[in-house]
Amino acid sequence: MRVNLSDEFKTKYHGLLGDRSEKLFAAIETNSQSAFRLNPLKNDYKNVQYSLEQPIEYSKVGYFGDIDGNSIDHLSGYVYSQEPSAMYVAEVVDPQADEKVLDLCAAPGSKTTYLASIMDSQGLLVSNEINNKRARILSSNVERMGIKNAVVINNSPKDLEDGFEGYFDRILVDAPCSGEGMFRKDPEAVQYWSLEYVEQCANRQKHILDSAFKLLKDGGTLVYSTCTFAPEENEENISEFVERHPEMEIVPIKKYPGMEDGRPQWGHNNQDLTKALRMFPDQFNGEGHFICKMIKTGSASSAKVRTFKNQPTKVEMSYLDKFVKQNLTNNSLSEIFKVKDDLYQAATFDTRFKKLHVLRNGLKLGELKKNRFEPSISWMLALKPDDLNSVCELTDDQFAKYLHGESVMVDQDFSNKWIGLSYQGKLFSWGRYSNKQIKNVYPKGLRK
């Protein structure tokens, strides 16, 4: 692989790293390391077609290896392809099940979906992305992984300051950056790199961090991460941030082999920066990354929650209740609200969110149509086989046809109209059954 590093880049890092810079440049010329992680929100989640013989030491669910984006394991949300260095970020955040957690720069969803798996569908996870197109990709990944406790929003960090001050127990700022650490994985990033671009990124990150400070409660945890080597975006930014906000205290992060201390000499000689960590690809089996963990000093307090409810009418709820009784083994549904004709199981009813651009609040159950309710694929991806009255295991041929958008014929008789469809033991879609035919309801945007 050939990565055309600019002379400016080489000169900068030769000045920072001395002779070691040649090892870094050589590492950037090698192939990137592929990895994936499992999704413990799924039934029998370790039952995947990929080898689990190379676990990642610092991740509870991460493994080295490639996955196929068209495989049933991927389509059903059992696996998520993620760069190995980036996996450690969610482990450092360490969200607890009863907390309010914010992923402030969340697209495409790698770290959000990891955080959700640690939280086990409990607490509240707010996943924000300022870019609308990327926010929709984020929402689709939240859906695929079967996440119930996430609110996906499309706002600037500044938008959250009005109403959410001191609201969150933990905040992750995985900041948009110059991407130097991803050069070998994404050679196109080399093309738009410049010293000026690094400065632009650093300035944008300062504003994001200042917003995060306001949103974090006293006693809360803030984790800052980037995928760049640039001191301006890492040590320098953090040193200046804690100078602006002396309430923020840098705390140690456990380091595994190949991980290095942050460098005080790159951040105004703040010695606490040794508690942060760096990952360089010449020493670590992953891409370049920087992580810093901070605590906001002060006594923790809970933000008061003001609630709203856009509840369906009794008649509309009767359509949902009828569907549940006919098709599911578990009849307990709560926190239902309506957005236009869609019904959701809410992650929150806090009125603060009414001021934001919300793409998804919790789990989308389905859509109200004339005198009936039709379920969404989101709901299926959050269910387990035991939750359903009827599950049909498809053959290789039936699965291929169904993914293509075709109906399939089956030998079994089912007493109910809506059934779960499974392939290799993994639920991936609803099917509408009638007279030994399963009519195709797989979303057109997902068909292969």
The C-alpha atoms of residue 284 and residue 271 are separated, in whole angstroms, by: 23
Residue 386 buriedness (CB in 10 A; 0-12 / 13-18 / 19+): exposed
The SS3 of residue 320 is helix
Binding residues: 105-111, 129, 174
Nearest to 218 by CA among 174, 169, 260, 272: 169
What does the CA dihedral 420, 421, 424, 427 come to, rounded to 10 degrees?
-50
The set of catalytic residues is 227
Question: At 433, phi and psi to the nearest 5?
Answer: -95, 140
Cis-peptide into 385, omega within 30 deg? no
Residue set of the binding site for S-adenosyl-L-methionine: 105-111, 129, 174
For 190-237, give the DSSP string. HHT--HHHHHHHHHHHHHHHHHHHHHEEEEEEEEEEES---GGGTHHH
Closest by CA position to 92, among listed 111, 76, 108: 111
Task: Tell me the C-alpha to C-alpha distance, in Å, between residue 183 and each of 9, 21, 168.
Answer: 12, 15, 33
d(C-alpha 244, C-alpha 29), whole Å: 39
